[in-house]
């Protein structure tokens, strides 16, 4: 009551209709974003399913509390003041302002701690090492025959628990594939560990979730979850040496000094500064997931990497003539 008048909090009908017209498409757009390769609600991994379950529980609880609080406020605004109800009001404040919120917060804390315990996961079936570079991802698979190294595109078997060893040699990065599980920082000088158990085959996106420099927003990766037999065949093929489709292109690659930074197993080029290119042509993307892998993009990248990805540390080769560029592209696109 204000000056003897009731206070009405409703909006005019025309305003409500305008809000409804705006809210409907925005709601549909928001719901559509929940089913993307980088959505934490995609539920393609064991940990992501646990996080999604907690999210819906907390969202439902928050919605219920919101409705109750606004319902009580609406009721109070339309009710005459009555001094005889003061005792009831005090009890209401004690229960709804102290006891119930405390119980709810403790329950959410206990639930979150139990979820963290469950996310530790079972013992990994095998190990993958991921090093955060500027600005790309070095990926190594530990196998009985030794480590198989690739870059930016990660392949994992469905139904198997994978142990990730996360490290960085430069600045802090953060590995996050939302559809598969939680995120973990990569800190120089130490190795952090987490597990993932992919459940659903498909392609899932990820990115660096910690600001790391100029190209932070362009430091992406893709995780392809494969049926276990397909993954075993892929890993065996990935461990093999490169098949050289162009000897002239290999000569350009070597003479231009590319092997000082890049490794191509079986060719004598064993650089470790840049990504391993042994099976480059089997990848869908390049430059840490921001560009399609094709001849034109490769040529533009070789001539001026920083023009396509500001902050890229690879040196430019603007003077590489076409008679050298074409054999080099033949060589690179033949590395399958």
* Mean pLDDT for the stretch of residues 54-68: 87
Q: Pick the closest to residue 216 from 181, 170, 280, 262 (CA basis).
A: 170
Torsion of CA 235, 138, 169, 256, to 10 degrees: 120
Q: Pick the closest to residue 50 from 240, 244, 182 (CA basis).
A: 182
* Mean pLDDT for the stretch of residues 88-113: 85
pLDDT at 160 over 70: yes
Quote the mean pLDDT of the chain. Answer: 87
pLDDT given for residue 287 in this prediction: 94
pLDDT given for residue 54 in this prediction: 84
What is the distance between the alpha carbons of residues 164 and 121, in angstroms, rounded to a whole number? 12
pLDDT band at 39 (very low <50, low <70, confident <90, very high): confident
pLDDT given for residue 324 in this prediction: 94
pLDDT given for residue 29 in this prediction: 54
pLDDT at 272 over 90: yes
Q: CB–CB of 263/253 below 8 Å?
A: no
Choose the weakest-confidence range: 5-14, 66-75, 119-128, 163-172.
5-14
pLDDT given for residue 112 in this prediction: 80
* Mean pLDDT for the stretch of residues 162-191: 94
pLDDT at 34 over 60: no
Question: Angle, to 10 degrees, between the axis of helix 46-77 and the axis of helix 100-118?
Answer: 170
What is the distance between the alpha carbons of residues 226 and 204, in angstroms, rounded to a whole number? 11
Choose the weakest-confidence range: 6-20, 165-179, 196-210, 235-249.
6-20
pLDDT given for residue 169 in this prediction: 85
* Mean pLDDT for the stretch of residues 42-64: 87
For the chain, which residues make up each domain, given as ranges?
Answer: 247-333
- The strand pair at 146-151 and 202-208 is best described as unpaired
pLDDT at 4 over 50: no
Task: Summarize pLDDT for 105-153 with one digit per residue, the tens.
Answer: 898 888 888 877 777 767 898 899 999 999 999 999 998 888 999 999 9
pLDDT given for residue 9 in this prediction: 45
Q: What pTM, to 2 d.p., does this model score?
A: 0.79
Task: Summarize pLDDT for 286-329 with one digit per residue, the tens.
Answer: 999 999 999 999 999 999 999 999 999 999 999 999 999 999 99
pLDDT at 6 over 60: no
Task: Summarize pLDDT for 213-227 with one digit per residue, the tens.
Answer: 999 999 999 999 999
Assigned CATH class of 247-333 = mainly beta
In the chain, the percentage of residues whose pLDDT exceeds 90 is 59
Q: Pick the closest to residue 241 from 270, 272, 204 (CA basis).
A: 270
E strands of the chain, at which residues? 126-132, 137-143, 146-151, 153-157, 162-168, 173-176, 183-186, 192-196, 202-208, 220-226, 263-264, 269-270, 285-286, 291-292
Task: Summarize pLDDT for 227-247 with one digit per residue, the tens.
Answer: 999 999 999 999 999 989 889
pLDDT given for residue 14 in this prediction: 63
What is the distance between the alpha carbons of residues 4 and 102, in angstroms, rounded to a whole number? 37
pLDDT given for residue 21 in this prediction: 63
pLDDT at 170 over 80: yes
Q: CB–CB of 219/176 below 8 Å?
A: no
pLDDT given for residue 92 in this prediction: 82
Q: CB–CB of 169/206 below 8 Å?
A: no
């Amino acid at each position: 009551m204000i000056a003897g008048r009731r206070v009405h909090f409703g909006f005019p009908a025309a305003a409500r209709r305008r809000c409804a017209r705006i809210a409907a498409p925005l709601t549909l757009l928001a719901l559509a974003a929940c089913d993307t390769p980088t959505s934490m609600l995609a539920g393609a991994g064991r940990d992501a399913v646990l996080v999604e379950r907690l999210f819906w529980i907390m969202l439902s609880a928050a919605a219920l509390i919101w409705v109750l609080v606004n319902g009580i406020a609406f009721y109070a605004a339309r009710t005459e003041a009555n001094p005889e109800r003061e005792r009831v009001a005090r009890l209401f404040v004690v229960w709804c302002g102290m006891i119930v919120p405390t119980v709810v917060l403790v329950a959410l804390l206990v639930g979150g701690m139990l979820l963290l315990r469950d996310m530790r996961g079972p013992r990994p079936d095998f190990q993958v090492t991921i090093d955060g570079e500027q600005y790309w991802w070095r990926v190594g698979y530990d196998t009985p025959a030794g480590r198989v190294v690739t870059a930016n595109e990660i392949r994992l078997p469905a139904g198997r628990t994978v142990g990730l060893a996360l490290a960085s040699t430069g600045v802090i990065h953060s590995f996050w594939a939302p559809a598969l599980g939680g995120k973990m920082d990569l800190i120089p000088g130490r190795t952090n560990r987490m597990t993932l158990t992919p459940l659903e085959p498909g392609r899932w996106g990820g990115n660096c979730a910690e600001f790391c420099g100029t190209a932070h927003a362009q430091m992406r990766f893709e995780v392809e979850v494969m049926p276990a037999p397909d993954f075993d065949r892929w890993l065996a093929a990935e461990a093999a040496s490169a098949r050289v489709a162009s000897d002239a292109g290999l000569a350009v690659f070597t003479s231009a000094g590319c092997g000082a930074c890049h490794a191509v197993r079986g060719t004598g080029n064993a650089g470790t500064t840049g990504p391993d290119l042994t099976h480059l042509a089997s990848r869908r993307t390049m430059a840490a997931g921001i560009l399609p892998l094709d001849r034109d993009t490769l040529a533009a990248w070789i001539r001026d990497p920083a023009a396509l990805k500001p902050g890229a540390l690879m040196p430019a080769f603007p003077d590489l003539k076409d008679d050298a560029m074409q054999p080099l592209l033949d060589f690179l696109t033949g590395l399958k």
